[in-house]
Amino acid sequence: MKIFSHGGHRAHEARCELVPGELVPTIETADRIDLVWGVLAERGFKAPVDCLPLTAADLLAIHDLDYLSFLETAWDEWTAGFGDEHDGIAFVWPHRNRPPRPPRAIEGKLGYYFFDGVSPVTQHVWSAATGAAGAARSAAEHLLASGKSSFALVRPPGHHACRDMGGGTSYLNHTALAASTLAASGARVAVLDVDAHHGNGTQDIFWKNSDVLTVSIHTDPADDYPYFSGYADEIGGGAGEGFNLNLPLQPGSTMEIYSVALDAARARIHDFAPDYIVIALGVDGYRGDPSGKLNLRQEDFSRIGEAIAALKLPRMFVFEGGYDKAALGDCVARVLEPSRRL
């Protein structure tokens, strides 16, 4: 298994995020990559290939130009108005059931283009996100060229980033970019999101697409983030109707319950008969994770990895959530192990 990354992610380190009732230090930190790679190195994986960042033009297949233009210049606008002592975080959010009107003021733009307060704009957010996107595209190109498995070991995460807005510490959707790169070859592609939170951005990007099947197993959004997306009756629209499957689970679900959803996901993917599968690899379903509400043990991630490998499909993985620093690397490695020699 070939691993792709982007060292420039280290410069992006948010100071804080807004959670219910308070501003707290962010849990999406640069050392997450080091912790994962440390375990993978111990288990014999080869060192990551460092990839170049993409440009806004490279991302138009999955994101709108106005959102990309905002994200590229947001830090400069923020510091021009408020200085560089604090990261840019919104304090007001719109209802998008009216004609869209992006404000001129940067504090308004932050609320318009980000749907939460855990996605701060920092000086290096654009370079980190485009670098991660570059690694994801390179991983997809490697899979296309060789048929061999790959892993985009990247941050910040991506699966919450929609076509025209970000959130959930996601700014660009690397999982969707990988799927789009594969689909552009004429292939049928399935996305399986095993992060503890719904992949709302990936769902949004492929909502009307029948060439990409999106499947997400996550905590019920009635009880957990992102709250407004990820319900079972969201099945896609237009040409994509029937090509989106959400499998929400109750908080506290163990592997016994998770495995039922995983079997349903595998059955739908099998029926779709894709040429490739992209796994949005979040491990925040681990019982000790500070952001998740599921109850998976470390050994359960081996079962998830084995179930993915049993699909016998050419595959790639994109790193998403996972914030328990003691277990993070082991959980990721357990999912990857069954695919490492393919």
Catalytic residue among 160, 197, 198, 218: 160
Residue 8 is classified by DSSP as G
Helices (DSSP H) in the chain: which residue ranges?
31-42, 65-82, 106-113, 125-146, 174-183, 200-205, 255-272, 300-309, 328-336
- Three-state DSSP at 28 gives coil
Structure tokens at 137: 């595209």
- Three-state DSSP at 216 gives strand
Answer for the pair 324, 288: CB distance below 8 angstroms, yes or no.
yes
Question: b vs e for 179-217, b when ≥16 Cβ sit within 10 Å of the residue's Cβ?
Answer: bbbbbeeebebbbbbbbbbbbbbbbbbbbebebbbbbbb
Contacts of 308 (CB under 8 A, 6+ apart): 192, 277, 279, 315, 335, 338, 339
Answer yes or no: 9 catalytic: no
Among candidate residues 169, 177, 186, 243, the one with its CA nearest the CA of residue 209: 243
- Three-state DSSP at 150 gives strand
Answer for the pair 212, 172: CB distance below 8 angstroms, yes or no.
no
Burial class (CB in 10 A: 0-12, 13-18, 19+), 108: middle
- State the catalytic residues: 160
